[in-house]
């Protein structure tokens, strides 16, 4: 962003509401633009507007800016963007405003999709010193709406003004200090500087990490680290499912969960073998077929624990010996009964609940 220019981005609803709402929004937008232009002139800066020129609030805002002599730059979300303006009158107004823009920024998306509109909203936030949002305060009806622009602006700490179209109020969020903006960090970025083991137990360790954050701050965080594990959802005849029930010391109660255990060999073959063994030990059944359902991290904010989740089919009785200290009950449920158990307080282990709902979703039953 040019230090001699104050950039104001905009996003708003295509349907603002009744005449009183349109009048309120119009007055607020005009007053905001006049106010910020006056304030910036005192600092020796010009004001420039970014807008996608969408129907409704966007075009209202752009027309007001042009009337005030404030230059506008268009942000075009996708190729053939003019196609979203379905009537000849709407297309004519779009081209009229487009031709009056000082510059046009064409984004890379070929398709005019929700993702393209979201990318345009984020582009506007990233390139603006302030964003003005004409918004009803509700969550977005679809990805890329003004609510998502507000959430993104809040995430990156971009100041924004909310012109509330339902309550007819106007509020500024955050200050105008550019130093407070959050830098978007690539997903490949690593924060850890050093690690020290402060506790090593039989089944878990606690490691203390020193982290250097993108804002320059150094912080310390303790993470519980567990070996990788495997979980298996056994599916019986007529789509019944088997869950095991065992005493959970952390919860101090009996909970429904899945057969599973710690993985010694993290290769695919090692994980599959461990899944087959744990199933036979804890339920007594051998699987003729295993299908991967999901790999995920369990509570990664404070626990480092990778979980491999499988579904077991074609079950046949072929038990292995059970560990002496294990007290495990095996229960057979219909899928609906098992899903109902996940809705009971403290009845079902959350990883088992996740497995059940993922399985139900994969079968199209939920």
pLDDT in tens, the chain (366 residues): 666 999 999 999 999 999 999 999 999 999 999 999 999 999 999 999 999 999 999 999 999 999 999 999 999 999 999 999 999 999 999 999 999 999 999 999 999 999 999 999 999 999 999 999 999 999 888 888 999 999 999 988 999 999 999 999 999 998 655 566 666 545 555 667 788 888 898 878 888 888 877 667 888 888 888 889 999 999 998 889 999 998 888 878 899 999 999 999 999 999 999 999 999 999 999 999 999 999 999 887 788 889 999 999 999 999 988 776 668 889 999 999 999 999 999 999 999 999 999 999 987 765
107 vs 123: CA distance, rounded Å = 9
Strand residue runs (E) in the chain: 5-12, 46-51, 72-78, 103-109, 130-135, 160-164, 169-173, 192-200, 205-212, 218-225, 229-234, 241-248, 253-257, 260-262, 285-297, 303-304, 306-317, 329-333
Residue 222 CA, chain-centre distance (Å), reads 25
pLDDT the model gives residue 204:
83
pLDDT the model gives residue 176:
56
pLDDT the model gives residue 223:
83
Are 97 and 63 spatial neighbours (Cβ–Cβ below 8 Å)? Answer: yes
Q: What is the pTM of this model?
A: 0.77
pLDDT the model gives residue 186:
54
Task: Give Cβ neighbours of residue 124 (< 8 Å, ≥ 6 apart).
Answer: 9, 10, 11, 50, 51, 52, 75, 131, 149
221 vs 109: CA distance, rounded Å = 40
């Amino acid at each position: 962003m040019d230090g001699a220019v104050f950039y104001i981005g905009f996003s708003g609803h295509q349907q603002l509401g009744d005449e009183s709402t349109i009048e309120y929004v119009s007055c607020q937008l005009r007053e905001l633009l006049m106010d910020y232009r006056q304030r910036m002139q005192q600092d020796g800066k010009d004001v420039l507007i970014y807008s996608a020129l969408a129907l409704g609030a966007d075009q209202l805002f752009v027309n007001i800016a042009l009337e005030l002599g404030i230059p506008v730059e268009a942000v075009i979300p996708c190729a053939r963007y003019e196609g979203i303006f379905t009537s000849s009158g709407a297309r004519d107004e779009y081209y009229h405003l487009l031709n009056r823009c000082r510059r046009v920024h064409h984004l890379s998306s070929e398709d005019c999709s929700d993702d393209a509109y979201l990318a345009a909203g984020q582009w506007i936030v990233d390139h603006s010193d302030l964003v003005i949002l004409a918004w009803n305060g509700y969550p977005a009806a679809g990805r890329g709406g003004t609510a998502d622009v507000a959430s993104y602006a809040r995430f990156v700490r971009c100041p924004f003004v909310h012109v509330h179209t339902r309550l007819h109020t106007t509020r500024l969020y955050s200050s105008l200090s550019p130093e407070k903006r959050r830098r978007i960090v690539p997903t490949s970025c690593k924060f850890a500087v050093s690690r020290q083991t402060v506790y090593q137990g039989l089944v878990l360790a606690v490691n203390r990490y020193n982290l250097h954050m993108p804002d320059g701050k150094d912080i310390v965080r303790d993470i519980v680290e567990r070996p990788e594990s495997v979980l298996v959802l056994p599916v019986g005849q007529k789509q019944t499912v088997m869950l095991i029930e065992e005493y959970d010391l952390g919860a101090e109660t009996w909970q429904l969960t899945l057969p599973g255990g710690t993985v010694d060999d993290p290769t695919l073959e090692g994980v599959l073998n461990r899944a087959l063994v744990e199933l036979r030990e804890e339920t007594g059944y051998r699987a003729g077929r295993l299908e991967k359902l999901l790999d995920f991290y369990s509570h990664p904010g404070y626990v480092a624990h990778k979980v491999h989740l499988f579904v077991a089919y074609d079950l046949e009785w072929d038990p292995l010996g059970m560990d002496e200290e294990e007290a495990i009950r095996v229960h057979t449920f219909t899928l609906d009964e098992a899903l109902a158990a996940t809705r009971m307080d403290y009845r079902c282990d959350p990883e088992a609940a996740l497995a059940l709902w993922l399985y139900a979703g994969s079968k199209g039953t939920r």
